[in-house]
Amino acid sequence: MTATYDADLQLFINGAWRSGEGREARPVYNPATAATIAELPVATAADLEEALAAAARGWPVWRAKTPDERAALMRKAAGLIRERADHIATLLTLEQGKPIAEARGEVLSASSLLEYFAEQGKRIEGRVVQRPAGQRAMVLKQPVGPVAAFSPWNFPVNLMIKKVAPALAAGCVVIAKAPEETPGCTSAIMRCLADAGIPGDVVQLVYGNPDMISRHLLGSEVIRKVSFTGSTAVGKHLMKLAADRVQRITMELGGHAPVLVFDDCDLETTLDRVVTQKFRNAGQVCVSPTRFYVQDGIYDAFVKGFAERTARVKIGSGLDAGTQMGPLANARRAPALEAMIADATAKGARVIAGGAATGEGYFFQPTALADVPLDADAMNNEPFGPMALIRPFATEEDALEQANRLPYGLAAFAFTENGRRINRVADGIESGMVGINSFVISANDMPFGGIKESGFGSESGPEGLDGYLVAKAVHIY
């Protein structure tokens, strides 16, 4: 299947779509072919100043609206996203690479998340605390203020809306810095919000030099909250910048998800699930299952089954019917993955499937390594690609120790049919999210987030809305 990349790439500042006018531009690539498909205008310091001034003006107006008024506009935007889903999904696949069905699912999930938060915004409640007659103590929940939202290229639509939707529902205004690699789909989503009537000083969109933009926005007294999804290294850097103005922060950072496969699991079903999930979005998922710890008794059968299924994963253009895994989203990931494989094999790991870049564009073979030693670089740093690392364990205690050995704590998974063990593992594993016999750990009404160096704060669910609210104590005597 062929499709035209007809993205309208512009910045959206103070209600106006902007490009050209002497701004620098940077190329956008199709990762399936490595061809340049568009030029993206880059925000200048003057653009950011204008966006900040607009946000400062827009905030008191937006926070003064009723939750019903805000919800009506958000629901209208959600409807427009659904109507335009096919077009937005095609842009997403052309600039990011994922299979078109996954792209469409991502776009629809953004629509559904907007609807969820539109309703959730009507349920913001404070507390009244009992005091002697005539006196009151109250806790009010108020919007934190203008938000700077930084979202990455792996789920560009979903992760931008995961920040924008709760911010709008809470009564905050947002300047979104969407990913430069995948600007067409995020611009199209922003157009839905604008076309729905959400004011142009309430949601704004910029692209450009990430470091320049984050320094500029976080250096402003207008911004009261920073929300970031990306690598732990960049997250730590932004936390330091935010410290200067004591801005509130939500950080969704890297992960290195362990999967504990016990010998009492349903092996064939487990293998089908883990292999499908490992190669979803070419492994470029912060909660991607990565370290597979498999109990001794089923280790050989697991390795064999994993290798066979991995060899059958169909890679190709995300637009082609039947493609299960597209290319990596950008050129820089393949050399990093190849270096990790060379390091692991030099230390004794076996490549049981894939192991190299392939074809034109940024394709990488679905890859699995067995007997991976703990000191392999890949066992300690996030591969963020289509790479599974497998090693055996003997006891449940051993498995939990392995799972918890890294500074990451985003998602963890376990496969077992033992009810008591399920509780012990869910309690003992150090991570923000746990999936038992399932990888479904992202839901509108559940918190999504990590602990340890995977970040703090949650997105989605009532907890996600809380991140955009501050508590004010009022004492009346």
The residue ranges that bind ligand NAD (CB under 6 A) are: 150, 152-154, 179, 210-211, 214, 229-231, 233-234, 237-238, 252-254, 286, 332, 382, 384
10 Å Cβ neighbour count for 356? 13
Instruction: Indicate which residue of 50, 286, 430, 459 is catalytic.
Output: 286
Q: How far is the CB of 40 from ligand NAD (least distance, A)?
A: 12
Q: How far is the CB of 367 from ligand NAD (least distance, A)?
A: 16
Is residue 21 part of the annotated active site? The answer reads: no
Q: Under a CB-based contact definition with an 8 Å cutoff, are residues 215 and 186 in contact?
A: no
Q: How far is the CB of 299 from ligand NAD (least distance, A)?
A: 28
Q: How far is the CB of 329 from ligand NAD (least distance, A)?
A: 8
Angle formed at CA 119 by CA 116 and CA 120, multiple of 5 degrees = 80
Q: Under a CB-based contact definition with an 8 Å cutoff, are residues 418 and 262 in contact?
A: yes
Q: Under a CB-based contact definition with an 8 Å cutoff, are residues 339 and 355 in contact?
A: no
Cβ nearer to ligand NAD, comparing 232 with 416: 232
Cite the DSSP H helix spans in 293-414.
296-312, 333-346, 396-403
CA distances from residue 445 to 88, 168, 192, 294 in whole angstroms, order as listed: 24, 17, 23, 32
Cβ nearer to ligand NAD, comparing 253 with 469: 253
CA dist 213 and 290 (Å) reads 32
CA distances from residue 392 to 389, 399, 402 in whole angstroms, order as listed: 11, 9, 10
Is residue 180 part of the annotated active site? The answer reads: no
The torsion angles phi and psi of 226, rounded to 5 degrees, stand at -120, 130
Give DSSP secondary structure letters for 90-143: HHHHHHH---HHHHHHHHHHHHHHHHHHHHHGGG---EEE--STT-EEEEEEEE
Q: Under a CB-based contact definition with an 8 Å cutoff, are residues 289 and 321 in contact?
A: no
DSSP state of 325: B
Q: How far is the CB of 39 from ligand NAD (least distance, A)?
A: 18
Cβ nearer to ligand NAD, comparing 224 with 309: 224
What region does 208 belong to: left with phi over 0, alpha with psi -120 to 50, or beta? left
10 Å Cβ neighbour count for 305? 18
Cβ nearer to ligand NAD, comparing 233 with 356: 233
Q: How far is the CB of 115 from ligand NAD (least distance, A)?
A: 23
Cβ nearer to ligand NAD, comparing 234 with 239: 234
CA dist 128 and 290 (Å) reads 47
Rg (CA), the chain: 23
CA dist 433 and 425 (Å) reads 12
Cβ nearer to ligand NAD, comparing 179 with 327: 179
CA dist 186 and 106 (Å) reads 12
Instruction: Indicate which residue of 115, 252, 430, 453 is catalytic.
Output: 252
Q: How far is the CB of 432 from ligand NAD (least distance, A)?
A: 12
Cβ nearer to ligand NAD, comparing 247 with 270: 247
Cβ nearer to ligand NAD, comparing 78 with 411: 411
Q: Are strands 248-252 and 225-229 parallel, antiparallel or unpaired?
A: parallel
Q: How far is the CB of 199 from ligand NAD (least distance, A)?
A: 25
Q: What is the SS3 string spanning 11-23?
A: EEECCEEECCCCC
Residues that are catalytic: 252, 286
